Amino acid sequence: MNNFKPILVFSGALNFLFAIFQVVISFSPSLSLYFGAPEALVVNSCLLIFVSFIIAGIVAIFGLYAISGAGYFRPLPWLKPMLVVICCVYLLRGLMLIPECLVVAGVMQASIPIAPRFVVFSAGSLLFGLLFVMGTVGGWKTFPSRG
């Protein structure tokens, strides 16, 4: 069964788009602040750009692992464990959706305000994580044991 390949390719493409988006918003402190960058980071534009490029690089590596898992180039080192780590990163971030929904709905109180857009960001992370899980589980037996 090769039905996992399109899922991993789609996951990789989403990660590449997110990496590009991260770089683009790094050049606008107001956009970076809107999308959740801490104020302490936004006031130092050089640091903001540096951190954004680091994050974009990590996300691009996630995309490379997805594409590698789909078999479009040789398997990257530690393919299986890295795909599991990527699944966990996105799912754990996505699980913030639950308390954020409760805060936005007024059921729970939070020490910092939660804008409704952060619920959307968490839902996106959860979607990324679920896509990675589906692709990873679907292709697990075809991935090489050693990278």
Residue 1 pLDDT > 60, yes or no? no
Query: Over the stretch 86-129, which tens digit does the pLDDT of each residue have?
Result: 999 999 999 999 999 999 888 988 888 888 889 999 999 999 99
The whole-number pLDDT of residue 55 equals 96
> How many angstroms separate the CA atoms of 124 and 119, rounded?
9
Locate all alpha helices (DSSP H) within the chain, ordered by sequence: 4-26, 29-34, 39-42, 45-69, 79-94, 97-104, 116-139
CA–CA gap between residue 125 and residue 115 (Å, rounded) = 16
pLDDT of residue 2: 67
What is the rounded average pLDDT of the residues 16-31?
96
Q: What is the pLDDT of residues 33-55, one digit of tens each?
A: 999 889 999 999 999 999 999 99
Angle between helix 45-69 and 116-139 (nearest 10): 30
Give the pLDDT of residue 85.
97
pLDDT band per the 50, 70, 90 thresholds, residue 146: low
- Considering the entire predicted model, what is its pTM? 0.91
* C-alpha span between 137 and 147 (Å, rounded): 17
